[in-house]
Chains A and B, each alone.
Chain A
Amino acid sequence: MAKAPKVARAHPLAGRQFAGNGVTLAPVDIASRVSLRAEAGALADIGKLLGFALPTRPKTSAAKGRRTALWLGPDEWLITDATNQRLAATLAKAEPAGCSVVDIAHRNTAIEVSGPNAAAALNAGCPQDLRAAAFAVGAASRTVLAKAEIVLLRTGEDAFRVECWRSFADYVWTYLVDAAKSA
């Protein structure tokens, strides 16, 4: 049988950049991502495979090295690995303990929104309170940005990561550029 040709992954926002009005937008490099649904009994096993404990409080995240785990719901997490390793295969070893690991690396992409007006630009389409008191560094939440569902993570005082579906990437990027121009 002929060997399958190796196909390079294309970034949906390749080559785009924006900076102005106190907002910088940058596509986040291709990474591996996992949607995890887990029962309480499986959390210890997953923590061992992951290298750190999953966050269990609402609107929080945990990170170690280049891996980040975001609390999305009482039994749901989004886990990213910026080194683009086969994260799903690693975590799937915990499935017998009572969890579901789904590789969503090709479904999601992310945009880094930074700068002193980053929160203002996001608030053009995101109705959540993004002041530091309500959405501290490390806070993470699934929410909306205009018509698109996003997962928002605050990575710094003036820096956010917006995770969205790759099919929405053009919409989210264009919306954020417009928002940044009027931020």
Chain B
Amino acid sequence: MLLIRCPYCEEERPELEFAGAGEAHIARPANMSDISDEDFEAFFFIRENQKGIVFERWRHIHGCGRFFNAARHSVSDKFIVTYKAGEPKPELTDEQIAAVAGATGKSGK
């Protein structure tokens, strides 16, 4: 089982308490009624779905209930860092990325 650090509970908690909530840092347009269908599609449906480092929203749904963001590797499933909602994307060091990219897709589950 993965242990995920909740930035609000300030400790690692078991994966079963969490729910993933898609890509992070997607800003809802302020002028929603003015934007074109294409722009709405891009905002609402189109996701990067990158192989490698991804920034995701997570929710500690069976814990404190809070949404937070996480940087994670989409192949190894490993978490690099979690941070509170509203905080900017953290700068990741090469060491941090190398530490999670080394695995061969086994998540430790």
A73 near B: Cβ within 8 Å? yes
| Smallest Cβ-Cβ distance to B63: which chain A residue | A142
SS of A interface (majority): strand
The tally of residues in B whose CB lies under 8 Å from a CB in A reads 15
| C-alpha gap A74/B63 in the complex (Å) | 11
Contacts of B40 in A (CB 8 A): none
Task: Please report B residues at the A interface, Cβ cutoff 8 Å.
Answer: 1, 8-11, 13-17, 62-66
- Contacting pair A73 B65 (CB below 8 A): yes
SS of B interface (majority): loop
| Smallest Cβ-Cβ distance to A146: which chain B residue | B16
Evaluate whether A127 and B8 lie within 8 angstroms (CB atoms) in the complex, with A58-B64, A143-B62, A143-B63 already known: no
- Contacting pair A58 B17 (CB below 8 A): no
- Contacting pair A143 B8 (CB below 8 A): no
| C-alpha gap A98/B102 in the complex (Å) | 49
Task: Tell me, rounded to whole Å, the shortest Cβ–Cβ distance linking A77 to chain B.
Answer: 11
| C-alpha gap A73/B61 in the complex (Å) | 10
Contacts of A128 in B (CB 8 A): 13-14
- Contacting pair B10 A58 (CB below 8 A): yes
A157 near B: Cβ within 8 Å? no
Contacts of B8 in A (CB 8 A): 58, 73-74
Task: Tell me, rounded to whole Å, the shortest Cβ–Cβ distance linking A78 to chain B.
Answer: 12
| C-alpha gap A141/B8 in the complex (Å) | 12
| Smallest Cβ-Cβ distance to A74: which chain B residue | B8
| C-alpha gap A112/B66 in the complex (Å) | 28
- Contacting pair A142 B16 (CB below 8 A): no
B14: which of A72, A74, A76, A127 is its contact (CB, 8 Å)? A127
| C-alpha gap A74/B14 in the complex (Å) | 19
B11: which of A58, A74, A144 is its contact (CB, 8 Å)? A58
Can you give 25 contacting A-B residue pairs, CB < 8 Å?
A58-B8, A58-B11, A58-B64, A59-B9, A72-B64, A72-B65, A73-B8, A73-B63, A73-B65, A74-B8, A74-B66, A76-B65, A127-B1, A127-B15, A127-B16, A127-B17, A141-B9, A141-B63, A142-B62, A142-B63, A142-B64, A142-B65, A143-B17, A143-B63, A144-B17
